[in-house]
Structure 1
Amino acid sequence: MSNEVLAPLLTDFDHKLVAIRRHLHQHPELSHEEIQTTASIRAWLQEADIRIADFPLKTGIIAEVGGKNEGPIIALRADIDALPIQEETGLPYASLSPGKMHACGHDFHTAAILGAAFLLKQQENVLKGTIRFIFQPAEEKAQGAEQVIRSGALEGVRAIFGMHNKPDLPVGTIGIKSGPLMAAADGFVIEIEGLGTHAAVPEAGIDPIVTGAHIITALQSIVSRNISSLQSAVISVTRIHSGTAWNVIPDKAILDGTLRTFEEGVRSQVIARFGQVVDGVAAAFGTKATVRWIKGPPSVSNDGELAEVATQAANQAGLTVITPKPSPAGEDFAFYQKSVPGVFVFMGTDGPQEWHHPAFDSDERALPISAKYFAGLAEHALQQLGANITKKAAE
């Protein structure tokens, strides 16, 4: 059933969230460029009389509801940036910016958390603490969360919650689990230096392409022969660049790729072994190789007690709760979890394609479901954390 057919079933609140999401979808902005997106979010917050918090961010915005009663501060986070992808959905509200698209659903996340803010604003006088809303830039470059942390926006925060839409889960389903949920995502660049020569006389040079081919094969042995079958790691070489002519053996070859892991110990082990393998193979072929790592976010790993709080809120909201399979995709929400306990959930959106696909879309029925869930989760978390504080004070 299409979103257009579903439209008559929506309430005024639902229509508002849909309109916000479609506006954002039509006007995507890339990481660090979310100027108009930030301005739009600010306008919607101000229209709802939600106070804007004063944290120094070039793009992105922080807002708060509550604080009229004593209690903890918790944060709800949404990411706001888009991807450099040409949209192929054919939707009437498709991107108006060529080569830019909300192909990961950050427009959905933003609209849903705005909806939670609108709902919580109505309950502001009775909230047992403060809800801080983080509309974060530059998630796709894995840089925005660290910018938010440097701004001071996590100061005083006792817990943080976030979500990612999940196209392969039906609307009304939520994936919640404690422990690792999404992978640490690191990139690598291997530069191999050989000695160029005519392709007809390879013995006069040192072929970096042959070295690169053997490095690619040898790297696969790291996971199969160094990592336990009970653990997980993925090494993928995704780009090979070398040479300029069909009859010339070049001086240099460059290999790019990514490493995905869920445990910090495995991550360190693979990186160490990676360097040994590259150095050894390069030396065996008489070449020299260097490895440059592009450190990405660590693994998203959910706090067990807060995962239970999130599950209780989901049950109260009537959602179907499942234990999701961990995703090898990366998420810079992990940086927040290095500073404060947090939980990241997968919200079912029943989409036609996976993340980062030109035809990606989300079922808009999930918007009000998500907004109401996070509003309820925020209230429940304040009550639980406040009760824990009181209990510990009494002890």
Structure 2
Amino acid sequence: MNQAAVLKSEAFSEQLTRIRRHLHQHPELSNEETETTAYIASLLKSKGIRVVDYGLKTGVIAEIGGQLDGPIVALRADIDALAIQEETGLPYASVYPGKMHACGHDYHTASLIGAAYMLKQQEKQLNGTVRLIFQPAEEKASGARQVVRSGALHEVEAIFGLHNKPDLPVGTIGIAGGPLMAAADGFTVSITGAGSHAAVPESGVDPIVAASHIVTALQSIVSRNVSALQSAVISVTKIHSGTSWNIIPETALLDGTIRTFDEKVREDVLARFVQVTEGVAAALGAKAEIRWTEGPPPVVNDWSLVKLADEAAAAIGLEIVRPVPSPAGEDFAVYQKEVPGLFVFFGTSGSKEWHHPAFDVDERALPFSAAYLSQIAVGYLNSRHNAGNA
């Protein structure tokens, strides 16, 4: 089935919609995607697509092609859901309380399954191999590392992926070289002072005062340590301390996140965070201990792959836009540390942003995203074949 036929095929569109809705109804959290894994594998095997065992607990790796000599190119989709109670009111809403595909991973998975079906139909003509990566645990920023450790990226020359974008209309695609999504690191700061009666604060060390000064001081890092030509975000999202109105507690707790688009900026901001936090606490007689939750690095697209993506998008009639980078994190970045990669935003005309309990996608985008993934894989293999024969 060629690209034009795919985009006109109501049967293909309905097939992908059924797959997406089944996934949407049966969301599973990170590293718990056992039903999802079995469902994906069964769909692939039903079309004669070979599933390859890399020892992953959840997630599916499959391959198409290899009948003609050529490189391996990878396509990736994430499969996990979020711990959110769905509020869409859809007839195919989640059947599992407190679990929801609120980030569109069901859409990504259905898109890659559709691309797999298309690639299978032209398997004998593929100038190499397409490796399909249905990745677990993106929301925990650990799934890509699991895939890399499994060896599933072995001999892969390049990797491509996509993410739905609610603020882009169906029929558009956001393609850009360089930074596209942010490094997303988390922090917990434990501040220890000395408890006392609230009426005699001089007899103790107030961790709430120390925490308040730390929160204020942290805001100076971006404004005074990051160039105006760069960007960073430091957000303290939780403060917890105390048990009673008349007791100065011994400890206070801060949680939050740091977002950066450049590895050097990331390194500098994290180092400065430690200096400010520990220094302010010490100045007020308290002690601060920092525990990091290392998130994915920034998604930085390989400029050499942009032209290929533009050509693939144009081939199926998509409108190309150059998107503004998103401060959200994406562990597709882990693959880009290993091999050249390109990640794009796909227009899905949504009314709610990612992680909202009423999030949904416009399913008319499914054939476009499936066709794009198929086209970019074929385009890459053909470009490498043509370069070798030049």
TM-score of the alignment, normalized to the shorter chain, above 0.5: yes
After TM superposition, the structure 1 = structure 2 runs for residues 325-344 of structure 1, keeping only pairs within 5 Å, are 325-344=324-343
The equivalent of 2:370 in structure 1 is 371
CA offsets 1:298-325 (integer angstroms, 9 cap, x no match): 0000001112111111111110001000
Q: Matches of 1:86 and 1:237 in 2, distance apart?
A: 24
What are the equivalent positions in structure 2 for 1:1-395 lying under 5 Å apart?
Answer: 11-391=10-390
Code of the aligned partner of 2:136:
P
Distance 1:280 1:342 in 2: 40
**1:252-294 CA distance string (max 9 Å, x none):** 0010100000001000111111111112211111111111111
CA distance in 2, matches of 1:271, 1:127: 45
TM-score by length of 1: 0.96
Give the Cα–Cα distance (whole angstroms) in 1 for the partners of residues 9 and 362 of structure 2: 13
Q: Partners in 1 of 2:117 and 2:300 — Cα distance?
A: 29
Match for 1:144: what amino acid? G
Deviation at 1:389, TM superposition (A): 4.0
Tell me the secondary structure at the aligned position of residue 276 of structure 2: helix
Q: Which moved more, 1:274-283 or 1:165-174?
A: 274-283
- In 1, Cα distance between equivalents of 2:186 and 2:41: 34
1:2-61, CA deviations, whole angstroms, 9 ceiling, x for partnerless residues?
xxxxxxx96111111000000000000000000000000011001111111121110001
Counterpart of 2:150, as a letter, is S
Instruction: Give, in whole Å, the separation in 2 of the partners of 1:167 and 1:389.
Output: 40
Give the aligned residue type for 2:47.
A
CA distance in 2, matches of 1:191, 1:211: 11
Q: Percent identity?
A: 66
1:386 CA displacement: 2.5
Which amino acid in structure 2 is aligned with residue 331 of structure 1? E
- SS for the counterpart of 1:339 is coil
Q: How far did 1:192 drift?
A: 0.7
Distance in 2 (CA, whole Å) between partners of 1:367 and 1:246 is 55
Distance in 1, Cα, partners of 2:365 & 2:24: 16
Relative distance call for 1:206 and 1:309 in structure 2 (3 A) is same
Structure 2: distance between partners of 1:96 and 1:303: 40
- What is the rounded CA distance, in whole Å, between the counterparts of 2:209 and 2:9 in structure 1? 60
**2:167 aligned counterpart, secondary structure:** coil
The code of the aligned residue for 1:311 comes to D
Quote the Cα distance in structure 2 between the aligned partners of 1:389 and 1:354: 44
- Listed as ranges, the gaps of 5+ residues in structure 2 are 1-7
Q: 2:4 aligns to what?
A: none
| Letter of the 1:361 counterpart | D
Q: CA deviation at 1:203?
A: 1.2
Question: Distance in 2 between the 1:84 and 1:259 partners?
Answer: 22
Specify the SS of the correspondent of 1:40: helix
Cα RMSD for the two superposed structures: 1.0
Q: What is the CA deviation profile of residues 133-172 of structure 1, one whole-angstrom value per residue up to 9, with x for unaligned ones?
A: 0000000000000101111111110100000000000000
Normalising by the residue count of structure 2, what TM-score does the alignment of the two structures yield? 0.97
Helix, strand or coil at the partner of 1:163: strand
Question: Which residue identity is paired with 2:59?
Answer: G
* CA deviation string 1:94-128 (max 9, x = no partner): 00000000000000000000000000100001111
Which moved further from structure 2: 118-127 or 307-316?
Answer: 307-316
Q: Aligned residue for 2:3?
A: none
Q: In 1, Cα distance between the equivalents of 2:250 and 2:320?
A: 56
> Residue deviations 1:69-108, cap 9 Å, x none?
0111100000000000000000000000000000000000
How many pairs align? 383
Q: Give the match's secondary structure for 1:97.
A: coil
- How far is the alpha carbon of 1:390 from its aligned partner? 4.4
Alpha-carbon distance in structure 2 between the residues aligned to 1:193 and 1:389: 63
Aligned amino acid, residue 323 of structure 1: R
What secondary structure sits across from 2:27 in the alignment?
Answer: coil
